[in-house]
Structure 1
Amino acid sequence: MLGVIRFYCLAIFAITSGLFFQRSHGQTVTPTQCATSVHAIIARGQAATGETGFDPLNVMASLQNLILQQIPGSTSLGLPYQYGADDKSVAVHDGAQMLQNYVTSYVASCPKAKIAVVGYSLGACLTMDAICGTSSIGFIPITALDKKYASDVIAVIAYGDETWVPLQSWNVGTCEVGLGTFPRLAPWTCEPFASSIHSYCDIGDSQCCSPFPLDNNAAHHAYVAKYDQDVVDFIKQRL
């Protein structure tokens, strides 16, 4: 009950306080800057304790490199959301809003755009919220990306998403039973983008596959090395 009350209090505060969130930024490019194949927008995980400096890709730099190397005509960037924010709910809301704005701005600039959105950990939460809208207790509400963009967003990748729930057609990985820390209560809102989504969650990841932290959460840190090539192959298939 307290979680539900907090959820709605945050929602009311979000609406009434324009100073609470970082301002969203769009991504308007010139026609010559449009990708001729896929444009990848990548949201890294939360900053580690003691991390300094600006690093919008972090460990996701390896996936960016694979995309640029293996898909000719591709472009990519790291989403500059508040990955170092102390309040996870603020970071997810701000990042989801920013990602939606990046997608809509890019499509407006590049009408033939093909976009892949990728998120890891905290970045996965905001990625799925941006696509599906919010339905997890504890996160500030945001509406889903308009389904008219389903033909533009050709791949949605989530690594270790804390809003993960079982029995979804887009689930990939070894976790079959369990829940994310902030489970998505209305996963059907993802359906307009279902064929584009791959959500990776493995047993041993206590953030997406609780209550099964069989290896001290090591699985949560293994997605990049384990699945990056699979992600690139999926993007190629979707193109």
Structure 2
Amino acid sequence: MLTENEIKRLKQAIIATVASPVIGSIEDYAWEAIFHYVKDISLTDPALGRSKLLYDAVNIVTQTGWSLKSLQLNNLKVGNTFFFVIQRADIISKADQLGFPGLTELSPPQELGAAIIQHWNEKLITNQSLQGVKNSYESILLKTIKGNEYIYCEYPLYPLDPTTFNWAWTVNKKTSKSGAGLQGSVGDKVELVWYKNQKQLFKARIIPPEAVRINIERTRLNPEIYVKTILVALQAQNS
């Protein structure tokens, strides 16, 4: 998790970001930039290109990598479960490559689930090697629609064990037929959901008690003041 100094930097960065009249909310690259600032890691200009690798931030000294996500939720209470996309998993077209020849959407759920986990594990292990990561984490910034309440959650990120999952198709409540989502459960808890139409894999996470909660006064700068301030700062930085 974050140190006390990093928590302070996170709050300051959130306040500064939402103060910008040209930014609607903290998401995507804005969250990546904030996280790099919090961890004091150098950040490249997105105009130079952005990679599709798993880890959005890597500390090459400590060999620590973070996969970053930002989500808007209605409920930020401890213990709340939320789902988010972790991968586009087209396991049918990659069936042979994954070691599941002849796999179709009509294959047994357990076989489909095994292919889904194989697909995810290969991405995780490959990117750990490519990005030099030994300490692997998933760091998520949760926020409310009003943009004045935030929660930082951090989870260890490691390969999944396919033998612990039980897979079953969701059931349409109206038609009582199998739905579009294939759920992977561990015990009685749904941990993964794969949607065959979009080929997207969702993961479930629970807001832990140790999550960092940050509340701010949402104040927006006047555009005139913002532009003048930025131009002065640029001039000072380049002089």
TM range (shorter): under 0.3
Compare CA radii of gyration and give the structure with the larger one.
2
- Could you state the TM-score of these two structures normalised by the residue count of structure 2? 0.25
Indicate the structure with greater helix content. 1
Indicate the structure with greater strand content. 2
Higher RCO (Cα < 8 Å, 6 or more apart): 2
- Could you state the TM-score of these two structures normalised by the residue count of structure 1? 0.25
